[in-house]
Structure 1
């Protein structure tokens, strides 16, 4: 409950025993988000409700190995997302965070200290508040989610509480490359397609999931799911499969190459009323999704075989596989909806 903040917990499970966590770490403030490091899976970046960020080393202690503080540029509002990036030029560990305070911050671990750099400050366009003695104060935009491009290192997207999505570069701190008038309410999640370099997906409390080409200002596909969409995730094995979860406790799985208009499957996941689902993630290897809800439950679901249909081989031909095939599959679909 965001109004009644208590302590937070970080729990690590294995799929072999989903009923009890392998590791339990408690924290003074609620934990809002986390990210495993790709190369060092024992390192975890964590963002807290009180605006702090930390790095946990699961090999050593149950306390954060490194943590921000008021002096070292912590956020003033909850941190909604953290993401590891490649190490910097001097091979120092590096991650980014986004918060309701409108700052996107890069954190670098230098000589056992977390150093921060403000990459971007979001401001709400055309809105200035009247301060004391007639001062014009710029109102800050609230960042809610972000994602970095898989191939173009400097490029990233930021979703905001006003429903806009900003296309940003790590190189320019005051300018946006582009602004998408994406949603009527807060953008709950935004992420690049794992295969196609131009495509990203966004979802919002305004009931919609939208798929975009980042060079075009209007969405390619729009799906209305009849309830606020808490999270959306691309499948790691296909460029056209994604899952979304909605506040009416349903999980939806789409495959654009099979049906461009509606979900292949919509399933009620949580039986208790008024229990909103907040997050969904695909397992990187197995056809399993993991879903988290407001009450702290984590549910693992296996995708049934008809939700992961693979193209059948024609006689005497092999089925082509690989990233290029996935990219081409999505490109073909986009060409149908792009302006001629």
Structure 2
């Protein structure tokens, strides 16, 4: 290249760059990389040369507008290279476009015109640059200018993304999502006065004198509403008939698996909490806290209901090995041969087994009741409530399959006085307590599951029973309870026992009473502490559901009706002291017996004002008695430690046999089983003995006739009373066909 050509290029460059300041043309940015021609590839005469993928290799320039931000960045980069040689500056000047003048433009921006979107320089901008070029023209004439820029310059061309971007936020107009205007107004303002006027006008028209204003009925013709009928055809819903069979067992298995999972999780959480939380002042808690891993696992296993159920089954199997013959006798599977030789009637009692364990020792057996659905199960209530022995209460559910350990064990803080199973729902057990509270438990659960509860009062509960009565809703089975203050109340079974009504409250009897002829008492000038007698028991009539009897601690029996509240139909004196028990004969609805603390047992006829028969043996109170379900003339009584068997067919002045208690304790409860072959006796030390009756006479075919004949035989010397008994027999015979 000649010097003339170089000068011409200089002037051409000067001519292009020194444009008018008013002429703002876009600047062409030269390509960042020089593109070499690609070789052409032919295959079978077809051009298959691949097209370039990078758009930067095109030779054509791309047009963009420069900004002050770009010029400032380029100025900072070029200031770092101020010490470079003039040759390199010249090469850069020749190869770069007008963008390379941004540093110089930045330095002289105070003397030049203002930049507005494109490069427009004043006349003084290129003067120092041109002078430098003219001075060094000779030195660069022989220097070959490289066609490609250096690597550093190529890196400077790459535009970097700014690390910080400023955003300006401006406030917009306020808009409301929810607008609820107030319904109140401030008093003593225009709005408040208007509201008060409206309220006064409203009260005047609705409640004041304006309510009785003169009105006039008028008719008016309203504009008819034009209506059109429209109909459409919706798409038909596609249905498909499907069938499935699910048995009760499948449903049971499904829900049982879920229930067991939840039970295990709850048990694990309870057990963890039991071991984590403890009291330092509790010795048992310290002992449990010090348990080893094996002992904790054993304690966890003992709380598993499935494990307890398995243990119960194993105990039954083991008990069957020891009490197999006794269990057969109890279930009447092993009976003596009726055609055996040397038959003798000895009325003997054979001890089969005794229900007791360590927890029952020292507690008195207060009540025994057999389950009406399962005759192998009986509930026993324990508790001692004497003045010097006020011990906790206990309820145990015993099963003849396991005479050693109870099936259920419920502990209470208060002595238990009475228990009774429900007839309609045998899993419910009503329990009376000495503090006056009543609970209804579900015996299916091993833990205490309270179905209904009545809060305690001041007076003890002496007996509980289930009876049908009509409440406000339906005719349902109610829980009846007798209290020490003479009340008989009925409760509906709910979460909290709701008192339906107070059926009766027995008062002290005054004057001459019919019934047992007692000696005249001396006049008592003291004022009694209470006007009411203690209601010791309540017995429903076997035929008439509306009639029931209440025994008191004064020896009187009140005949009452559910239709007449707090009023008795009849009253008679049965004993000279508290009446302990009263039961109707299972073979006659007109014959019943009573026992009391006057050391005697009496047989009565309904409608007869005096006792039919009376028998006594020792000067001890008769704690209880029971009629035999298999022999109409056999009665069992308990006095002290003796168990007496009476047979009215044989003799009424002495028992047929007397059996002492195996433990030598005073007996408190006696009851036959439904078969009449076994007898259960409880004592004050917590033992419940199960006896079998052996060498008993054959049951009569006409049990009721035998009963009346035996009574008539004993009343041979009392003609008037005998005639009353015969009349009672005839009246009962006449009522039977109806």
Normalised-by-shorter TM-score class = 0.7 to 0.9
Q: Which stretch shifts more, 120-129 or 57-66? A: 120-129
Q: Give the Cα–Cα distance (whole angstroms) in 1 for the partners of residues 530 and 660 of structure 2.
A: 43
Q: Give the Cα–Cα distance (whole angstroms) in 1 for the partners of residues 509 and 676 of structure 2.
A: 43
Deviations for 1:88-130, whole angstroms, at most 9, x for unmatched residues?
A: 46143312111211111112225x4422221110111249999
2:448 aligned residue (62, 79, 88): 62
The answer to whether 1:48 aligns with 2:437 is no
Match of 1:180 in 2: 572
The answer to whether 1:31 aligns with 2:416 is yes
The answer to whether 1:92 aligns with 2:485 is no
SS at the partner of 2:567? coil
1:242 aligned residue (606, 620, 635): 635
Q: Give the Cα–Cα distance (whole angstroms) in 2 for the partners of residues 173 and 46 of structure 1.
A: 24
The 3 A distance-change label for structure 1 pair 129 and 65 is farther
Rg larger for = 2
Match of 2:252 in 1: none
Q: Give the Cα–Cα distance (whole angstroms) in 2 for the partners of residues 143 and 242 of structure 1.
A: 25
Choose between structure 1 and 2: higher helix proportion. Answer: 2
The answer to whether 1:101 aligns with 2:485 is yes
Gaps of 5+ in 2: 1-383, 512-523, 716-720, 724-738
The 3 A distance-change label for structure 1 pair 58 and 88 is farther
Q: Give the Cα–Cα distance (whole angstroms) in 1 for the partners of residues 525 and 459 of structure 2.
A: 19
The 3 A distance-change label for structure 1 pair 66 and 211 is same
SS at the partner of 1:329? helix
Gaps of 5+ in 1: 312-319
The 3 A distance-change label for structure 1 pair 335 and 154 is farther
Deviations for 1:20-43, whole angstroms, at most 9, x for unmatched residues?
A: 211101112111111112232211
SS at the partner of 2:497? strand
Q: Give the Cα–Cα distance (whole angstroms) in 1 for the partners of residues 543 and 611 of structure 2.
A: 22
Q: CA RMSD in A?
A: 2.3
Match of 1:78 in 2: 460
Q: Give the Cα–Cα distance (whole angstroms) in 2 for the partners of residues 14 and 156 of structure 1.
A: 32
Q: Give the Cα–Cα distance (whole angstroms) in 2 for the partners of residues 258 and 309 of structure 1.
A: 13
Extract structure 1 runs of 4+ deviating beyond 4 A.
Answer: 127-131
- Is the 8 Å Cα contact of residues 615 and 652 (structure 2) preserved in structure 1? no
Q: Give the Cα–Cα distance (whole angstroms) in 1 for the partners of residues 683 and 703 of structure 2.
A: 31
2:703 aligned residue (323, 326, 329): 326
Q: Give the Cα–Cα distance (whole angstroms) in 2 for the partners of residues 101 and 52 of structure 1.
A: 14
Q: Which stretch shifts more, 227-236 or 325-334? A: 325-334
Match of 1:268 in 2: 660
Deviations for 1:6-62, whole angstroms, at most 9, x for unmatched residues?
A: 321100111122222111011121111111122322111111011111111112342
Aligned residues: 315
The answer to whether 1:305 aligns with 2:719 is no
Choose between structure 1 and 2: higher strand proportion. Answer: 1
